[in-house]
A and B are shown apart, each in its own frame.
Chain A
Amino acid sequence: DIQMTQSPSFLSASVGDRVTINCKASQNINRYLNWYQQKLGEAPKLLIYNANSLQTGIPSRFSGSGSGTDFTLTISSLQPEDVATYFCLQHNSWPRTFGGGTKLELK
């Protein structure tokens, strides 16, 4: 199985900050990487698919980059409503595997 290593596990930032979350795959997954946001008590919500494509309805302050084994989710200007846990998911091969998550809090 492909292992997804996500960092950091916890992140504290202020409103307006630029935030980056990283995900590293144990082998080449091309661009088959999604990013999800999960708020407390809710299901995961798709933000970015195929590494850099913004899902419809998601604010443009969210962006994704990377290919191969190294990927990044960037929030250009953190908003209070962005407090959540973020997960990466590889869908290059079965079984699909998630990163361990990044819990984002406001400073």
Chain B
Amino acid sequence: EVQLVETGGGLVQPGKSLKLTCATSGFTFSTAWMHWVRQSPEKRLEWIARIKDKSNNYATDYVESVKGRFTISRDDSKSSVYLQMNSLKEEDTATYYCTAGSLYWGQGVMVTVSS
């Protein structure tokens, strides 16, 4: 059974940092392109980051709204993908999902940025 489980969310003040973890099982993680997608409280979906596999040199891409603040990384030995979020803003408040190749999704984790 495929599982993706996100952890690390919570309430954080503007300007602070948070790191999300997505632990996976049930599929060949090492060859999967992994992504983070977020959904705002208004239910708007935004595809924010992706990391390719080793054969593609673990190349990363970011949407403009998070470029320079967020970093996606992966550990193939742990079948996990991470999202380091720095300089958080109130508009980063959302449910964050990790997804493998657009098909498999985690249940999501909430991040609230507020003073």
Contact = CB atoms under 8 A, between A and B. Distances in A.
Nearest to B4: A43
Contacts of B48: 95
A49 B108 contact: no
A56 to B, nearest CB: 9
Contacts of B13: none
A49 B102 contact: yes
B97 A43 contact: yes
Interface residues of A, number: 20
Contact of A43 (B46, B61, B63, B108): B108
Interface stretch (A11-19, A62-70, A84-92): A84-92
Interface in B53-93: 61-64
A42 B97 CA distance: 11
Interface in B39-60: 43-48, 50
A46 B103 CA distance: 6
A91 B10 CA distance: 30
Nearest to A46: B103
Nearest to A99: B45
A98 B102 contact: no
